[in-house]
Structure 1
Amino acid sequence: MHMADALVAPAVAGTMYVCSAAAMTYSIKKVHLEVDTKKIPVMGVMGAFVFAAQMINFTIPGTGSSGHLCGGMMLSAILGPFAGFLTMIGVLLVQCLLFADGGLLALGANIWNMAFYGCFIGGMVIWRMIMKNGMSKKKIMAASVLGCILTLQLGAFSVTLETLASGITELPFAVFAGTMQPIHLAIGLVEGLITSAVLCFIYDARPELLWMYQKKERGKLSYKGTVGALACAALAVGGLLSLAASSNPDGLEWSMEKVSGTTELSASGTIHQAAQKIQELTAFLPDYSFKGSEGAVGTSVSGIVGAVIVAALCIVICICIRNIRKKKVK
C-alpha cells in the first residue's frame, strides 16, 4: 500500500507529514517513560522481520492481485503501540530512502496509512480490548485477524481520501474506493493469519515478550533463543523467501490499474521533482535490486542489507530515547 508521490498533492503531503509527526512525537514521549532494556533488541529484530516480510507479496487467488504484510498490528502486539509505531517509521523510512519503495513526498501519508492505524487502532484498541482479561491463543488469533482486517480497511480508505483531496481525477473517489476496499479485505485476512502465526509462536516460546501478557509463566525457549530465532527468520525471509514473492501488482497498484488503466501516474511540479531527485540520490538498491539489474542476487542482498539497517536504526532510536531519559533522571 506504499503510495507514490504522484498520488498526493504537496498540500496533502504536508498535512499528512504533520499528522504523522505529531503521532511520532507523542510516541517518543511515551516510549521515553516506559522503555525497557529488554525491548531494545526485540525492537530491532522485529523491525527487521517486518521489513523482510513486506518484501514477500502473496497472491490473492482469482484476482490477479497480490498483497504484503503491513506489520503495525504485529509490532504493537509485541512492543506496544508507541514503540511499535516508531519501529514502523524506521521500516518505512529505510524503504523510502534506500530502496525507493513509496514516495518521499508521500512518506507522511504512508506512515499514517500503514503504521498509525495498525499500531493505534489495531494495537491500542483491538489488542488491548481483547487481551484485557488475559491472553490465550484463541484471543491472539481473533485479535490478529480482526485487527489486520480493520486497520487495512482504514488504511485503504485513507488512500482514497488522500487521492480525492489531491485532485487525482484519474481515480474517481467512489470507483476507486469500491475497488480498494474489497481487495484489501482479502489482504487483511491473509495478514491476520500470518500475524497470528508469528504471535502464537512467541506466545509458546516466550509469552512475556507480548504486550499485556500478565502471567509469570515462562515459555519453551529462553529470551536469547527467541530473539535469535526471530532474527534468523528475518534474514531467511529477506534473503531467501523474498525470491518467491508474487509478481502480481499489489492491492493499490491493482486498484489503480482497474480504475485508470495504469499502475503508475505521472506528476509534475517543482516539489515532486525535488523529492524524486532526493530519492534517486539516496536509493542505492532501487526496487530492491542493483541499479540496471533485476536479478535474484540483488533481491536477496536487499532483503538482508535492509533488514540489518532497519534493526540497527531501531536499536539506535531506542538507545537514544533511553539515554535522554537517564540524563533527565540525573
Structure 2
Amino acid sequence: MHVPDGFINAPVSVAAGVAAAGAVAVSLRGARRELGGSAVALAGAERTAPLAGLVAAFIFAVQMLNFPVFAVGASGHLLGGALAAILVGPFTGVLCIAVVLLMQGLLFADGGLTALGVNITVMGVVTVVVAYALFRGLVKVLPRGRRSITVASFVAAVVSVPAAAGAFTLIYAIGGTTDVPVGKVLTAMVGVHVLIGIGEAVITMLTVGAVVAVRPDLVHGARGLSTPLKLRIGGELVDAEPAAAPAPVAARSPRKLWLTGLVTALVLAGFVSFYASASPDGLEKVAADQGIDKNTEEHAAAGSPLADYGVKDVSDPRISGGLAGVIGVGATVVVGSGIFWVVRRRRTTDAGPTRVPESV
C-alpha cells in the first residue's frame, strides 16, 4: 500500500507530513517509556530495546514477500503495524514502521518521498492505533493465556488492513489528483484489502505466537497477562497469595532470539523474496482499475543503485534481488537499532540511575 508521488496533491501531502511528524514526535516520547521503562516496568522494557530494531528489519523483509490474492488478480504484503505494536508497544511500533518506510523510500524508490507523510499516517499510525486498541480490548475479555494473545493478534491484524485502506481513501477524497468517485475507490480499496488482511493476520499471529512460545517476557502485549495461581479452599477457588519476590538475578539475554530473528529476516529477504508474487499489490491494482494513477510522478530516488529492490549492474535477477534484500535488512536493523538505542539512553539519562537492590 505504498502511495507513490502524484496520487495526492501537494497541500494535502504537506498536511499529512505534518501529521506524521507530530505522530512520530509523540511516539518518540512514548517509546522512551516502552524502551527505557519506569522502575516498575524496567525489567521487561530494557529487554525490548534491542529487539525494536530487529522488528523493523523483520517487517522490511516480510514486506518483500508479496503473496497472491487470486480472487482479485492482485497481491498483498504485510503492513506490519499490528505486529510491531504487539511485539514492542504502540509508540515504538509507529517508529518501527516509520523507519521501514524511510528506508524503502530513500534506498529502494518504494513509496513516494513527497508521500512519505501519507504512508506513515496510513501504514504506520492508523494500523498501529486500530490494531493495538482492538488487541487490548480483546485480551481484557478473553481468558488469560497465550492462546488469547494469538487470537487477539489475528483479529487486530485483519481489521487494521482495511482500516488503512479506508484512511487512504479519506486522504484521496480530500486531496486526490484524479477525478474518480470516492465511493468507487472506497469499495475497491476495502474489498481488496479485506482479503489482504487475512494474509496479514496469519503472518502476525504466527510470528507473535512463535515469540510468545519461547520468550513471552519480551512481548509487550503479553505483559501482565499471566494467570494467577488458584487454590481450592472450602470448595471455592481463590487467588493464592503471591510468593515473596526472589532476589534479583540477571535477566535472560534476548541475544539468541535476536540472532534467530535476524537470520530469519536475512533468509526471507535474500532468498525467499525471489519467489514473491509479481502481481500488482492492492493499491496498484485499484489505482490501475479505477484510473487514480494517471498523475503518478517518477520517484525522486529512481536512480538509486538499489531502486526496485535490485542492485544496479548485477544482471542475475536472483542475485540482484537477494543482495538488495540483504542490504535493506542490514540498513534497517542498523538505523532502527541506533534510533531506539538513543531513545532508550535518553530516557535512562532523564530518569536518572535506577538503584538495584543487592542480592543476599
TM-score (norm 2): 0.82
- Contact 1:2–1:102 under 8 Å retained in 2: yes
Instruction: Pick closer, same or farther for the CA change 1:169–1:128 going to 2, 3 Å.
Output: same
2:59 equivalent among 50, 69, 74? 50
Structure ID, larger Rg: 2
Quote the Cα distance in structure 1 between the aligned partners of 2:62 and 2:211. Answer: 16
Measured after TM superposition, the shift of residue 310 of structure 1 is 0.7
CA spacing shift, 1:303–1:204, aligned 2, 3 Å: same
Q: In structure 2, do the counterparts of structure 1 residues 168 and 127 end up closer, same or farther at CA, with 3 Å as the change threshold?
A: same
CA distance in structure 2 between the aligned counterparts of 1:78 and 1:24, rounded to whole angstroms: 18
Q: Is 1:162 the equivalent of 2:185? A: no
The CA RMSD measured in Å over matched residues stands at 2.2
Offset of residue 135 of structure 1: 4.5
Query: Does residue 50 of structure 2 align to residue 41 of structure 1?
Result: yes
Find the counterpart in structure 1 of residue 41 from structure 2.
none
CA contact (8 A) 1:205 1:222 kept: no
Mean CA deviation greater in 106-115 or 32-41: 32-41
Please list the CA deviations of residues 67-104 of structure 1 after superposition, one character each: whole Å capped at 9, or x if unmatched: 00001100110101011111111011000110010000
1:286 alignment counterpart: 307
Find the partner of 1:259 among 290, 295, 305.
290
Q: Does 1:171 align with 2:180?
A: yes
Determine if contact 1:48/1:311 at 8 Å carries over to the other structure: yes
In structure 1, give the amino acid aligned to 2:180. L
Q: Which of the pair is proportionally richer in helix?
A: 1
Q: Is residue 140 from structure 1 mapped to residue 149 from structure 2 by the alignment?
A: yes
Out of 127, 132, 145, which is 2:135 matched to?
127
Contact 1:206 1:222 in 2 (8 A): no
Give the corresponding residue for 2:345: 323
CA distance in 2, matches of 1:216, 1:136: 7
1:48 partner amino acid: A
Amino acid at match of 2:207: V
How far did 1:66 drift? 0.4
Q: Which among 84, 87, 94 is matched to residue 75 of structure 1?
A: 84
2 CA distance for matches of 1:284 and 1:216?
Answer: 52
Contact 1:58 1:66 in 2 (8 A): yes
Please tell me whether residue 24 in structure 1 is matched to residue 24 in structure 2. yes
Say whether the 8 Å CA contact 2:105–2:113 is kept in structure 1.
yes
Which one-letter code corresponds to 1:229 in the other structure? T
Local SS of the residue matching 2:72: coil
Map of 1:310 onto structure 2: 332
Contact 2:126 2:167 in 1 (8 A): no
Structure 2: tracts of 5 or more residues without a match = 36-44, 229-251, 353-360
* Paired residue secondary structure (2:17): helix
Distance (Å, rounded) in 2 between the aligned partners of 1:167 and 1:27: 28
**Is the Cα–Cα contact under 8 Å of residues 141 and 193 in structure 1 kept in the other structure?**
no
Taking the TM superposition and a 5 Å limit, the aligned residue runs for 1:174-189 are: 174-189=183-198
Q: Take 1:104 and 1:236, find their aligned partners in 2: how far apart are those partners? A: 28
Question: How far did 1:172 drift?
Answer: 2.5
**Cα distance, 1:202–1:254 mapped onto 2, change above 3 Å:** same
Q: Which runs of structure 2 are paired with 1:186-201 in the superposition (5 Å)? A: 186-201=195-210
Cα distance in structure 2, aligned partners of 1:34 and 1:168: 39
Change (3 A) 1:306 1:131: same
Q: Is the 8 A contact 2:135 2:155 kept in 1?
A: no
> AA paired with 1:31?
A
Task: Give the direction of change, closer, same or farther, for the CA distance of 1:161–1:137 in structure 2 (3 Å limit).
Answer: same
Aligned residues: 316
Decide whether the 8 Å contact of 2:145 with 2:227 is kept in 1. no
